[in-house]
Chains A and B, each alone.
Chain A
């Protein structure tokens, strides 16, 4: 008994001793002998980062996948997609081309794309799809589960930072808008705004200075837009709605804004026939018809007229003050300018001023002062007296 037991143990040991080196030899035939590469993956695979995904119905989506060749030889694989329901459209793309097969060199990886569109009716269900790659040594299978969601593309949104601004007819209304592209695709958005007549709109990107007509927004990101609206100069006080919209294909986004224009009166004082110069004789009053106009969007109240003239001058206005001047209204003002009696001939500046509670304006009137012709007459009188003396002398002593 003991002898037989020893024999069995010996046979087992011998088997073990022979079996070990045999297993090693078998491995060597398929694996490189380098110890550094001993741990590297080895094979030929078809992979995708998202094998189980949800796509929107009626939209084209792009699913990336790749073929990885980690063998010693190049492989040519014929690609096919099986299990795709009727009505779906798809195409395989690599480097922008439609492809039916892929060739991968040893150690290389081929990046491919599957463009897939599920019809609108497919929503709510889940579909098993299989991607296959047949090559001479076999077939690679990549099962995928594609769920189709009823939710459509959420499009884009346009959000104003401040929906209402207030200013005068001469100020510039600057709206900050945030345009978000919620879609799955990058899009080029055109910009447009409905404004009242005479208003002027410009769009700028962010805080830039270039005027734009549209801008590209990447899928899922947003851009800041500055919309500047310049009101018409004669815009009356009031609220003005501004409808701003963006359009990219069939995706639109819009926002309603309000501009509140607080009217201001704007006075202007115009000289006779638009001229701002005139002639007056020293010591004599001369009247000039001026026109006071309110070109602003609100009535001017408590308008007073005054003048800054050289000393000794008298400048009077008729009327010298107005209770109110309505927006767009005008009033004839007769300005009477009397240069000083001692005024020296020449040109002088007379500053005429119309000031309301809200606004004021100044007109510089160039007055040419002429010397009084009184002394000219006196001079002629002196000459006349001298000539009379001569004539009298001739009459008295003449004809001798």
Chain B
């Protein structure tokens, strides 16, 4: 039978309801408290470091996000590590939780299509993440203005907003992954573990796995120095499968205006170059645009996978 109307009817309602549920859940409060504390701690440490060491910098506020002081890592690396956790916490029981609570049939009893449920869940999660990240970002900028006594420059704000947008996309990848696992796996605990395993592998073990894999795929030939380069390129290509690596490259490029390339650079390419001159914001974005579009495409494809699986599932009352 042919069905009428937009498949996305009711998405807004579900998304707002979902967001409201997240906002009031103890799970979200706990994980955001963790993020907030670590972020504030790292920025506080960065401000102390900047006050001591930096006399003048045209991109002072970007330094807030990248400066690390032992034992705390920088704000940017903290976010790269912890944000997947937030996304997984939001999404790991998105679908199978509804089945577990036997509420899925009640939702689908409403005059909406099944599409709206998954879209709504994803968009609701993204809404919560966007609000959380924006708050965090404003908090950091406010802390910086308060402690450094300087307003951020236009380039600071531009790069900061681009960083914010990319961070949202990065978190969206993990939300889509968690939703996909919650669709495929019936038990919420298993899907949470599966998502956490992927997160652990990509965040921690991936940097150990890729050199091994690269040396197997393109072995070194002592007589041919070019194999050194090809092995490095293979390793980099493998490493870029990890969203964490892509996100790290993007944040390095966006938050350090003087960096010019994320790949290997030959001496011949640096000949005549004025090293240290900051790139225009748009140029920096253009350089890591492949990474950004890769992250975005990964988010969309993961969601599509979850969508296809969910649409084909049997839903019983």
Binding site for B on A (CB under 8 A): 309-313, 340, 342-350, 366, 370-371, 373, 375-376, 378-380, 382-383, 385-387, 389-390, 393-394, 397-400
- B 5-38 contacts with A by CB, 8 A: 5, 7
A342–B260 touching, CB < 8 Å: no
Residue on A nearest B299 in the bound complex, by CB:
A386
A349–B274 touching, CB < 8 Å: yes
B272–A393 touching, CB < 8 Å: no
Residue on B nearest A313 in the bound complex, by CB:
B272
B261–A386 touching, CB < 8 Å: no
Q: What does DSSP make chain B's interface, helix, strand, loop or mixed? A: helix
- 23 CB contacts below 8 A, A to B, read A310-B268, A342-B269, A344-B261, A344-B265, A346-B277, A346-B279, A348-B272, A370-B283, A370-B286, A375-B290, A376-B286, A379-B289, A379-B292, A379-B294, A382-B293, A390-B303, A397-B312, A398-B311, A399-B5, A399-B113, A399-B114, A399-B115, A400-B113
Residue on A nearest B4 in the bound complex, by CB:
A399
**Do A383 and B283 form a contact, CB below 8 Å, given A375-B289, A398-B113?**
no
Q: Does B316 contact A (CB under 8 A)?
A: no
Please measure, in the bound complex, the distance between the C-alpha atom of A79 and the C-alpha atom of B270, giving whole angstroms: 101
B266: A residues at CB distance < 8 A: 342
Smallest Cβ distance from B300 to chain A, in angstroms?
A: 4
Which single member of B5, B113, B286, B300 contacts A386 (CB below 8 Å)? B300
Q: Does B208 contact A (CB under 8 A)?
A: no
Smallest Cβ distance from B198 to chain A, in angstroms?
A: 19
Using A344-B273, A397-B312 as known contacts, list a sample of 9 further A-B pairs with CB atoms less than 8 Å apart, ordered by residue number in A.
A310-B273, A343-B269, A345-B283, A345-B284, A346-B277, A347-B274, A350-B272, A371-B287, A385-B297
B273–A346 touching, CB < 8 Å: yes
Residue on A nearest B9 in the bound complex, by CB:
A399
Number of interface residues of B (CB under 8 A): 40
Residue on B nearest A378 in the bound complex, by CB:
B290
Residue on B nearest A311 in the bound complex, by CB:
B268
Which single member of A343, A348, A390, A399 contacts B307 (CB below 8 Å)? A390
Please measure, in the bound complex, the distance between the C-alpha atom of A387 and the C-alpha atom of B298, giving whole angstroms: 10
B113: A residues at CB distance < 8 A: 398-400
Smallest Cβ distance from A148 to chain B, in angstroms?
A: 86
Please measure, in the bound complex, the distance between the C-alpha atom of A366 and the C-alpha atom of B274, giving whole angstroms: 9
Q: What does DSSP make chain A's interface, helix, strand, loop or mixed? A: mixed
Binding site for A on B (CB under 8 A): 3, 5, 7, 113-115, 260-261, 265-266, 268-275, 277, 279, 283-284, 286-287, 289-290, 292-294, 296-298, 300-301, 303-304, 307-308, 311-312
Please measure, in the bound complex, the distance between the C-alpha atom of A346 and the C-alpha atom of B256, giving whole angstroms: 13
Smallest Cβ distance from B312 to chain A, in angstroms?
A: 7
Which single member of B114, B293, B307 contacts A383 (CB below 8 Å)? B293
Smallest Cβ distance from B181 to chain A, in angstroms?
A: 18
Max chain A Cβ within 10 angstroms of own Cβ: one of B290, B294, B296, B300: B300
B283–A371 touching, CB < 8 Å: yes
Please measure, in the bound complex, the distance between the C-alpha atom of A382 and the C-alpha atom of B301, giving whole angstroms: 11
Which single member of A310, A383, A385, A397 contacts B271 (CB below 8 Å)? A310
Please measure, in the bound complex, the distance between the C-alpha atom of A350 and the C-alpha atom of B273, giving whole angstroms: 9
Smallest Cβ distance from B190 to chain A, in angstroms?
A: 24
Counting from the closest, the 7 A-B pairs by CB-CB distance are A379-B293, A397-B311, A310-B272, A386-B300, A386-B297, A398-B7, A399-B3
A386–B296 touching, CB < 8 Å: yes
Please measure, in the bound complex, the distance between the C-alpha atom of A310 and the C-alpha atom of B268, giving whole angstroms: 7
